[in-house]
């Protein structure tokens, strides 16, 4: 996510990645000094990064207390889900432009990575490539602005899933992606849109807003020392 300086981008990306892959649990405290050591940076830069991330609702700043990984409320969770569904579903129904050949190629490459991650049982890679598929799709059919919006929503969804995922369920089936691409190439917008709606509803149905685990994590074990 575009920061100004290079080093800050690095740090922000590392934090976002940790959130995306659900290594960083919602509610975790993010002490400035500790982060500065982990990333071999200084407090000022960490501070800027945290402020930036707070704008994306990934981090919550509590004045006088510090920064924490956000814990979206059930209401916020529902709103994020609904917003993402609204945007992705309607973009597939009314794409700004149809899928180009090179776009399809990009998507296929990502699907190959997905398959590999699945074969390797690499959970982090699976989440990452799955998100990448959605983002690339949005970018091909829509534009950069919408892509950025969805990018933020996907990050927030990671927090939501970590918080509210019902155990015993296997969320996020990725077999849909194949069908989705076929429908898009066949220009069957209505069907593609409906499939996307089901796809996202599938994720929602795996959530349970009654429980709120407070699992906090220890940073240094999670954020690799650069």
Partner DNA sequence: AGCCTGAACATTGTAAACAATCATGGTTGA
Partner DNA sequence: TCAACCATGATTGTTTACAATGTTCAGGCT
CA distance 165 to 176: 20
Site for DNA in 61-120 (CB under 7 A): 61, 63-67
Is residue 87 near a copy of itself by the rule CB under 8 A?
yes
- Part in contact with a copy of itself (CB under 8 A); list of ranges 76-84, 106-114, 166-174, 205-213: 76-84
Do the Cβ atoms of 135 and 147 come closer than 8 Å?
yes
Residue 95 Cα to chain centre, angstroms: 22
In sequence order, the β-bridge partners of residue 59 are: 69
Shortest Å distance, C-beta 130 to a copy of itself: 21
Among 31, 33, 43, 96, binds a copy of itself (CB under 8 A): 96
Do the Cβ atoms of 58 and 19 come closer than 8 Å?
yes
Among 82, 112, 173, 218, binds a copy of itself (CB under 8 A): 82
Residue 57 has φ and ψ, to the nearest 5°, of 65, 20
Do the Cβ atoms of 17 and 224 come closer than 8 Å?
no
Q: Applying CB under 8 A, which residues contact a copy of itself?
A: 4-5, 48, 51-52, 54-56, 61, 63, 76, 78-80, 82-83, 86-87, 89-91, 93-94, 96, 142-146, 149, 153
């Amino acid at each position: 996510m575009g920061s100004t300086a290079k080093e800050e981008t690095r740090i922000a990306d590392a934090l976002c990645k940790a959130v995306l892959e659900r290594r960083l649990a919602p509610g975790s405290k993010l002490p400035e000094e500790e982060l500065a050591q982990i990333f071999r940076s200084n407090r000022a830069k960490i501070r800027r990064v945290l402020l930036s991330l707070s704008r994306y609702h990934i981090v919550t700043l509590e004045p006088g207390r510090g920064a924490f990984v956000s814990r979206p409320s059930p209401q916020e969770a529902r709103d994020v889900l609904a917003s993402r569904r609204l945007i992705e579903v309607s973009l597939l129904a009314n794409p700004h432009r149809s899928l180009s050949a090179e776009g399809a190629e990009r998507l296929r490459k990502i699907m190959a990575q997905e398959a590999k991650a699945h074969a390797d049982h690499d959970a982090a890679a699976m989440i990452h490539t799955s998100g990448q598929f959605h983002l690339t799709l949005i970018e091909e059919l829509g534009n950069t602005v919408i892509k950025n919006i969805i990018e933020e929503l996907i990050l927030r969804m990671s927090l939501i899933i970590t918080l509210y995922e019902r155990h015993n369920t296997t969320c996020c089936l990725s077999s849909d992606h194949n069908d989705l691409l076929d429908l898009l190439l066949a220009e069957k917008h209505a069907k593609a849109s409906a499939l996307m709606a089901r796809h996202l509803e599938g994720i929602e149905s795996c959530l349970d807003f009654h429980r709120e685990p407070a699992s906090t994590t220890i940073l240094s074990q999670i954020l690799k020392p650069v």
